[in-house]
Amino acid sequence: QGLKPIVSTESPALTTSKLASDIPATDSFLGKNKVPDLQKLFQKPDGLPVHLKRGVPDKLLYRTTMALTIGGTIYCLVALYMASQPRNQ
């Protein structure tokens, strides 16, 4: 005696599907390979850190992240200070 298995132990019937080798490599959805261009950009010795190499959008994201981090730290410190003070009754 024992429990019946919920999942069938038989192998499922094989279905026909496209293999990766059947799909042509030049389909329109692939587009242009941008990796060599980005490698040239990121490996350029211009003294900038890699997270700022793409210009204004990177600078905007970096500064926004830093502002939110500093603001969150200050908010947490103020909340801890207020929580540590006893209440007057």
Mean pLDDT score of the chain? 82
Model confidence at 8: pLDDT above 90: no
Contact 50, 42 (CB under 8 A): yes
Model confidence at 5: pLDDT above 90: no
Summarised one tens digit per residue, pLDDT across range 53-74 is: 888 999 999 999 999 999 999 9
**pTM for the whole structure:** 0.53
47 phi-psi bin (left φ>0, alpha ψ -120 to 50, beta other) = left
Written as six digits, the tokens of 27 are 């389909």
Say how far residue 25 (Cα) sits from the centre of its chain: 27
Q: Which among 49, 69, 68, 72 is positioned nearest to 59, based on CA atoms?
A: 49
